[in-house]
Amino acid sequence: MTDIWHQYTKDYYSFFDETRIALELRYIKINYGLYLPKDKGSKILEIGFGRGSFLAYLEKEGYTNYFGIEIGKQQVDFVKEKVTSKVKLVYNTLDFLKKHKNTYDLIFLSDVIAHIPKEETIIYLQAIQQALNSNGVILLRTPSITNPFCLRSMSNDFTYTTYYSYESVRQVLSLSGFSKIIIKEESFNIGLKGYIYQSTLNLCNFFLRYILILYNRTNNLILSKMMIIIATK
């Protein structure tokens, strides 16, 4: 698997499109901005930063004490060249977290926990919980299996291993020691195209939600492709 991660950027993020990055920064603002620390000196860690969009957003917004770790060398080289030098190649994330207990105010993971084997997930999340300061926050983004098109998207990437619903992600975070868990749908309400796209999704999901409520007897349904999760230590 190490060889796969070393080439992950080459396969998925080998380009640097200024327009797309600008859209990603706006996406980050409307989906995560409310949950970021008010103090720009807060200690923030991103695990698995990929192309570095979240780190670029932190830099743009004036955060000074952020850091990113990644297990793929190409990702690290790419982000060092295009975004920031505040990153490090880390082959063993658990060892890194164990060396930084009670350190971070916020730890961010986007599209990461779905790549972690189920038998390792709670150990991984407990290590994150222990690396947070008192009342520190974990901010997650992961595919929602409740979305009918999620399986198609996840099947495009061999490295996905674990699927989450509203209930299962709440369960695994609770078992890992987190509290005050908030789970919400992502929003694409960015500009005219984003507004049209979001409105179309909302219309389609209105009917789909009704069907799923009848079938599953629950309204805890995340129908966006990704769900946003916020939890406190």
C-alpha–C-alpha distance, residues 42 and 56, integer Å: 16
86 Cβ neighbours under 8 A, 6+ residues apart: 55, 66, 67, 68
Q: Is residue 204 part of a domain?
A: no
User: Is 218 or 62 the better-scoring residue by pLDDT?
Assistant: 62
User: Is 198 or 184 the better-scoring residue by pLDDT?
Assistant: 184
Confidence at residue 84, expressed as pLDDT on a 0 to 100 scale: 94
Sheet holding 44-47, edge to edge: 87-89, 66-70, 44-47, 104-110, 132-143, 226-232, 179-185
- Give the total number of structural domains in the chain: 1
Q: Is residue 208 part of a domain?
A: no
Q: Is residue 65 part of a domain?
A: yes
> Do residues 139 and 106 make contact, with C-beta atoms less than 8 angstroms apart?
yes
Confidence at residue 188, expressed as pLDDT on a 0 to 100 scale: 74
Q: How does residue 190 score in pLDDT terms, banded at 50, 70 and 90? A: confident
Would the pLDDT of 147 be above 80?
no
Strand segments, DSSP code E, in the chain are 44-47, 66-70, 87-89, 104-110, 132-143, 179-185, 226-232
Q: Is residue 159 part of a domain?
A: yes
Domain range spanning residue 40?
2-188+220-232
Q: Is residue 55 part of a domain?
A: yes
Q: Is residue 200 part of a domain?
A: no
> Do residues 31 and 142 make contact, with C-beta atoms less than 8 angstroms apart?
no
Would the pLDDT of 30 be above 70?
yes
Q: Is residue 196 part of a domain?
A: no
C-alpha–C-alpha distance, residues 80 and 58, integer Å: 15
Q: Is residue 207 part of a domain?
A: no
At 106, list the tokens: 């916020």
112-142, pLDDT tens digit by residue?
999 899 999 999 999 999 999 999 999 999 9
* CATH code (residue 154): 3.40.50.150
In this structure, the number of other CB atoms found within 10 A of the CB of residue 215 comes to 8
pTM (predicted TM-score): 0.85
10-24, 62-76, 137-151: least confident range: 10-24
49-63, 77-91, 143-157: least confident range: 143-157
> Do residues 186 and 135 make contact, with C-beta atoms less than 8 angstroms apart?
no
C-alpha–C-alpha distance, residues 113 and 138, integer Å: 12
Would the pLDDT of 26 be above 60?
yes
